[in-house]
Structure 1
Amino acid sequence: MRVHKWSALVVGLQVLLWIGGGFGMALMPIGEVRGEHRMAPAAPLAAEPGTVTDLAAAARAAGFRTLDSARLVSHLSSPAWLLQSGDRTALVDAGTTRLLTPLDAAGAQAVARGDYAGPGTAGTAEWLEEAPWYYAGPVPVWRVAIDGDDGRMIFIAPDTGQIVSRRSDSWRLFDVFWRLHIMDYRDGSNINNPLLISAAGFALLFTLSGLTLLVLRLRRVLHAARHSGARP
């Protein structure tokens, strides 16, 4: 019984974190956490026939002999070829065959401005070779901070010119709740980590043992009540 009571303290604290984390996440609109309410509407990929360069010319501009994948994407409201060959990726202007990547600071800032629709302003682009704790994507990466809007940051891949992540103070708070909830304090991505499995299994055993003790106690109480009532 004493072991069960001390175990209740340990399990209860973790259950409190699970409930508190879930409650905190439930209070935060997921669209705002993801920054969707500050995203500019995606521009349609408008390309007139005859104005898009052929794929072979785009591959030559990127210096690729062979291609693993190729697709037409929108870059700053203009069509561009996103090409991949082996471990290399390149973005080529589909109208002029100009090589657009690796993206420079001005290009990253332009991408961030095109993606953002809100009251803040895009600051300068910062080159990161090590990922901060709130960003788990590939590096190196450009980070553009949006001044005056919830600590918002936009991350752009230099080799593709594509946005790989959006972060804000709301996202970071949500991430704290999430890590407490799944007990992954490293990067918050592993919901099958041994710590969570062990804690959940221990909590289940504790609950079952508590129910067993409750049933046994109720049986003793009922047994005592029946015998006391049978006395003359």
Structure 2
Amino acid sequence: MYKLCRTVHNWLGLILAIQITLWFASGLVMAWLPIEDVRGAHLRHTFQANWQHATQSPQSVLASHSADATLALSQRLIVNEDKPRAIPVYTVSEAISGNGAQQNTTVRYNAVNGTILAPLSETQIQKAANVQYAGTGTLSEIDFISTLPQEVQQLPSPIWQVQFNDTENTRLYIDPNTGSVLRVRTDTWRLFDFMWMLHIMDYEDRSDFNHPLLIGFSAGALLFTLTGIVLLWQRFRPRKRSGLNRF
């Protein structure tokens, strides 16, 4: 049995050596990086709408829509003369039938005065990005993108991508409807994400840790550990002394 354990242990060691090293190295890097720096919390200002300022009721807003319309609470960041403020917003969604087909529509209302809000322009997004950015760089590029990069692939599209020329290569991803920053991505986050990819062995989406490759290597690592314990026990277990050597 011990011979079999030694053979299995040796072969597993050869197969798993690189991945076990990557597990330890990636785990060390992820533990070393402060999670708030990874999330970019130090690079953004946040603004919250005060719903006590709302004078319009949901019923008054829904009165001009069908009975199937749904209402949700939201907000919008407004920047006038470099003075940012978040206003409360009602978002009404409904399906409208026409030409034999249904089309989903969304209308946003200012909850303070009841006016319909137009989509945010590029200039408004640029102002919103500048007031929410807390770093030392300056805005260098702004794009309205429909095809999302891997670093924000889980967000709905289209979305605004705003690049700042700081040492962290900061990108803000801004909601086109609210003007709020949804994600902050920096080189620190990208390093963490790369290490996470190595750790969970998902080299495409970097989000699936239930795939066969990870399960197989994890099972192999467990077997490697167990056979190692058996071999250690064989080497260090107490030995019975013969009767002639007792005295």
TMscore range, shorter length: 0.7 to 0.9
Matched ranges for 1:65-104 at <5 A: 65=66, 66-76=68-78, 77-85=85-93, 88-94=105-111, 95=113, 97-101=115-119, 103-104=120-121
2:195 match: 177
- Cα contact 1:93–1:100 (8 A) shared by 2: no
CA drift of 1:89 comes to 4.3
Superposed CA deviations along residues 109-143 of structure 1, whole A, max 9, x for unmatched, are 23222321221223442021111121222222110
Once residues 166 and 37 of structure 1 are traced to their aligned partners in structure 2, the CA distance between those partners, rounded to angstroms, is 10
CA drift of 1:169 comes to 0.9
1:113 match: 130
Once residues 59 and 213 of structure 1 are traced to their aligned partners in structure 2, the CA distance between those partners, rounded to angstroms, is 73
Q: What amino acid sits opposite 1:10 in the alignment?
A: I
CA drift of 1:59 comes to 5.2
- Cα contact 2:49–2:88 (8 A) shared by 1: no
Once residues 205 and 20 of structure 1 are traced to their aligned partners in structure 2, the CA distance between those partners, rounded to angstroms, is 21
Matched, 1:126 2:128: no
- Cα contact 1:67–1:84 (8 A) shared by 2: yes
**TM-score, length of structure 2 as denominator length:** 0.76
State the identity as a percent: 33
Once residues 158 and 64 of structure 1 are traced to their aligned partners in structure 2, the CA distance between those partners, rounded to angstroms, is 23
Over 3 Å counting, the alpha-carbon distance change for 1:57 and 1:117 in structure 2 is farther
Once residues 65 and 206 of structure 2 are traced to their aligned partners in structure 1, the CA distance between those partners, rounded to angstroms, is 37
- Cα contact 1:179–1:185 (8 A) shared by 2: yes
- Cα contact 2:76–2:180 (8 A) shared by 1: no
2:50 match: 45
CA drift of 1:217 comes to 4.1
Over 3 Å counting, the alpha-carbon distance change for 1:114 and 1:57 in structure 2 is farther
- Cα contact 1:34–1:166 (8 A) shared by 2: yes
Once residues 183 and 239 of structure 2 are traced to their aligned partners in structure 1, the CA distance between those partners, rounded to angstroms, is 61
Once residues 229 and 82 of structure 1 are traced to their aligned partners in structure 2, the CA distance between those partners, rounded to angstroms, is 93
Once residues 84 and 120 of structure 1 are traced to their aligned partners in structure 2, the CA distance between those partners, rounded to angstroms, is 37
Matched ranges for 1:1-232 at <5 A: 1-43=6-48, 45=50, 48=53, 52-55=55-58, 58=61, 64-65=65-66, 66-76=68-78, 77-85=85-93, 88-94=105-111, 95=113, 97-101=115-119, 103-136=120-153, 137-218=155-236, 222=239, 226=241, 230=245
How many residue pairs are counted as aligned between the two chains? 224
CA drift of 1:73 comes to 2.5
Structure with bigger strand share is: 2
Root mean square deviation, CA, Å: 3.0
Q: What amino acid sits opposite 2:72 in the alignment?
A: A
Once residues 76 and 122 of structure 2 are traced to their aligned partners in structure 1, the CA distance between those partners, rounded to angstroms, is 19
DSSP 3-state at the match of 1:174 = helix
Q: What amino acid sits opposite 2:148 in the alignment?
A: A
Once residues 188 and 73 of structure 1 are traced to their aligned partners in structure 2, the CA distance between those partners, rounded to angstroms, is 31
Superposed CA deviations along residues 18-52 of structure 1, whole A, max 9, x for unmatched, are 11111111221111111111121435527546xx3
CA drift of 1:108 comes to 2.3
Higher RCO structure (Cα 8 Å, ≥6 apart): 2
Bigger shift: residues 67-76 or 10-19 = 67-76
